[in-house]
Amino acid sequence: MEVLGLLADGFATSLTPLNILIVILGVTAGLFIGAMPGLGSVNGVALVLPLTFIVPPTSAIILLAAIYYGAMYGGAVSSILLGIPGASTAVATTFDGRPMALQGKAGLALIAAAVASFVGGTISVLLFTAFAAPLAELALKFGPAEEFALVLLAFTTFVGLGGDDTLKTIVMICLGLVLSTVGLDMISGQPRLVFGDIPGFYAGISFLVLAIGVYGVGEVLYTIETARTSPAVSTARLRMRDLVEGIREMNKMWKTMSFGSVLGFFVGMLPAAGATPASLMSYGLARTFSKKPETFGKGNIEGVAAPETANNAASTGSLLPMLTLGIPGSPTTALLLGGMVMWGLMPGPMLFIEQKDFVWGLISSLYTANLAAVLINIALIPLFVWALRMPFSVLCAMVLVLCILGGFAPSQKLHDVWLIAGFGVAGYLLRKADYPLAPLVLALVLGPLMEKSFRQALISTQGDPMIFFSRPLSATFMVLAAIFFALPLLKMLRQRLSKRPAPAE
């Protein structure tokens, strides 16, 4: 009950006219920043940080949090409309969002993304409000062994699929893992797979570059081939009916969305993980538990809802270790941390005790930011959809320009632009040969995390692999992973067995 009192005080702070205005401005700015490929919440927060010194610290952090939230919503927009992930956290949203747009259901997909983000945001803020302190303790229990087991679990959800060819999935995961080892070795500092001495490879291959290449450029190439004769890529329109239908559709997905929210929140809390792995894991799990896994990747609305709930939940989750432990869970929270230090607030275990006003003002503003974001987002959907009605020849060129910009902006290296071009062609060819691309991206996102936690765990036990099974949390994950991996095999076996008595033979 003490929590409710504190939250009420928080609302008293966050609902002042100035702070409401700040939330609306922040969310709108964040939405557009997130929707631009190459610009993400990091850039938004970095740009606005200097402005925050003219308002009181609580208002300042509310502004930054609003931008952060808005960008999480916005990332889905270009993923769905253009097939280019608007932000790294929205990579998984392209898997089903883009096919939906191609089927003329862009409006529905955008509504699904907005509602799912709202659900994810709300559930995670509720979790945050109720269990901030005990959850921070739980995050501490996550050591290298748990991290590794969790990542392994994420992989198995992608392997254990009925729809795609299992062998091809495994090949793509392996390819992604190889790409993830490019660059400097985290433990010894030696360069690996830098192809002679190409400087661009020292920093490794960013998965955003891969995703923009295979999805953005690859998609354009594929569409040029298939849609050469039909000039309009989609007949996207948005009517009130779509909105109603969207919300009705969402109603059927409570299970996926609540699961995605909880998962997203927890993965976001882990300092090494964050929103991108969270959204990919949520996508994989939704697919595993779906009755029709084969429709994923081909425009299943659940495939949009699952990652979008998770990435918003994760963005709330990553605030938790920043506030309670002083460890940022993502690059954006690292910037927020910098701001807090400047305002004289020292994040860490003492913050919740010494700076109650600030902490609860921030938490309550997450509620308002979330509500503002979903309303503004839905209001803007007609505008976004309208953009799709451009002639294909114009849209196509625009997408390519955005791909190049989006790849160049974060690192400002021409090297990445060449990589995007290469990955684009490779992605196009792989797609023609029916290789699934999602596992490739997943492997590049999770590969470094998996390698690091695996090596750390084994170093700390001097090579004894029992550490993965002797700790309760990690053992649970390992068992689940084994089950997920075995599931498709069992399914296949059962199908064979039921076919055998058929009289045809």
Partner 1 sequence: MTNIFTRRGAMALMASAAIAVGSPGLADEWKPIKPVEMVIMAGQGGGADRLARLFQTIIQKEKLAQMPFLPVNKGGGSGAEALRYLKDKQGDAHVIMATLNSYYTTPIQTEIGVNIEEFTPLARMAVDTFALWVNVDSGIETIEQYVEAAKAAGGSWRMGGTGTGQEDSLVTALLEREFGISHTYVPMGGGGEVATALVGGHIDATVNNPSEAMSFWQAGRVRPIALLTAERLDSMPGVPTFAELGHDLEYYMQRSFVAPGGLTEAQQAYYVNLLQSLHESEEWQTYARDQALLTDFLAGDELQAYFLSEREKHREILKGLDTPS
**Which residues contribute to the site for partner 1 (CB under 8 A)?**
46-47, 49-50, 53, 139-144, 183-191, 197, 199, 202-204, 271-272, 321, 325-328, 331, 334-335, 337-339, 341-342, 346-350, 452, 456, 459-462
> CB–CB of 70/30 below 8 Å?
yes
CB of 290 to partner 1, least distance (A): 35
CB of 348 to partner 1, least distance (A): 3
CB-nearer residue toward partner 1: 89 or 157: 89
* Helix/strand/coil (H/E/C) assignment for every residue in 437-474: CHHHHHHHHHHHHHHHHHHHHHHHCCCCCCHHHHCHHH
Query: In angstroms, rounded to a whole number, what is the distance separating the alpha carbons of residues 311 and 92?
Result: 10
Q: Of the candidates 354, 308, 369, which has an alpha carbon nearest to the alpha carbon of residue 128?
A: 369
Q: Kindly calculate the radius of gyration of the chain based on its CA atoms and give it in whole angstroms.
A: 22
CB of 334 to partner 1, least distance (A): 4
CB of 421 to partner 1, least distance (A): 21
CA angle 16, 21, 27 (to 5 degrees): 125
CB-nearer residue toward partner 1: 140 or 390: 140
Query: In angstroms, rounded to a whole number, what is the distance separating the alpha carbons of residues 260 and 273?
Result: 15
SS3 14: helix
CB-nearer residue toward partner 1: 78 or 330: 330
CB of 179 to partner 1, least distance (A): 15
CB-nearer residue toward partner 1: 45 or 220: 45
CB-nearer residue toward partner 1: 12 or 47: 47
The helix (H) or strand (E) run that includes residue 403 is: helix 392-411
Query: In angstroms, rounded to a whole number, what is the distance separating the alpha carbons of residues 173 and 379?
Result: 39
CB-nearer residue toward partner 1: 287 or 452: 452
CB of 385 to partner 1, least distance (A): 34
CB of 340 to partner 1, least distance (A): 9
CB-nearer residue toward partner 1: 37 or 321: 321
Query: In angstroms, rounded to a whole number, what is the distance separating the alpha carbons of residues 202 and 63?
Result: 36
- Chain centroid to CA 418: 25
